[in-house]
Structure 1
């Protein structure tokens, strides 16, 4: 077990590790700034290892004055892209589901963490749907207005509305495939022009049954380092 207890107790959808506000407040002996991170949990299951891993990061981020909202995709309806291309003309997705709710939270945050369990050496279907549709949508929303004067062109793709945000990603694997799944999460961040942070190892943690990741000492420490690097960069960008 770890030296300091890691538990699922109190962890719930929307749970936030709250940092101290700026303006003289202290955390761990240093002044901190009030910034927000949205941590998207791509598991189809609620209150499992993916949310636990994000909770571990949230606790560390709070030391840097970062408030983390854990946003589970479990139970949300996010359909696959239909390749209708209507979004290029009307600048909105014609599919009526929970995509926009998640996107709005991502767009409003200073930083984004994407987390997914490994499904067949890849991210989960619901996370894949979010990234595929969101990638197009985040670029189109940043296009010049008014919409009637804008024509989408792959030769001149507008910058993403996520541009300049800080990003981090993690995967939860039973045995293998964590790195392959991570590639999809990080590629999304890179093409959306985000500042991506890493850790001292590949940011995959191992476990199958609920809570089993707490036995992965190196994995826990790796996630804390990832959160630390994210907190440092968020502080620097907020100055």
Structure 2
């Protein structure tokens, strides 16, 4: 055997061995996401928020591993640094000091007070809720400073939207707060779109991925998410995903 082909083969194999594998090169960020905010975040790990975050990180070459949890548990894990960050957290004075925030908004979630069409609220705006009205809300969610500062209403906290809907139908609540995409989905699915209707707006929530103050790479992953979100907002992917829901 002539030596040249053998030497060439050895050189080629050495070059291939030195190339990093695609799997080894891929970065992965681990995030926690809630399990019960349809259609933003579903129990099976799908939803609008999931799609937006995965698309943003994909745009900068990072894979996402999601831990699906109850919302309260998401916040616990992010604060502890068990994960780099968590979805979907509203950036408000009550939450701002606890987390590291990126610059790019994930999305804005609009919400309303919903009441029974046959038993409407007397109030015509959130500011007029001053008479002990029983308002159903989800434990751990943020509803804006006006809501939290209003001590003239009775805030009744539960874990699931289905509980609030049942209590409203039974006359045990005067109104419930739901984000509009969630309300449209749940009320239509259950044939309740005419029985439970929007009364007036609640404050909109600015939804972010909240990053941990204790995770060693949280600042890095927050910066990469900002970069990816800017890309998908510019190229239309963000709008296309939001429109699906």
Give TM-score, length-normalised by structure 1. Answer: 0.24
- Specify which structure has the bigger relative contact order, considering alpha-carbon pairs within 8 angstroms and separated by 6 or more residues: 2
Provide TM-score, normalisation by structure 2.
Answer: 0.24
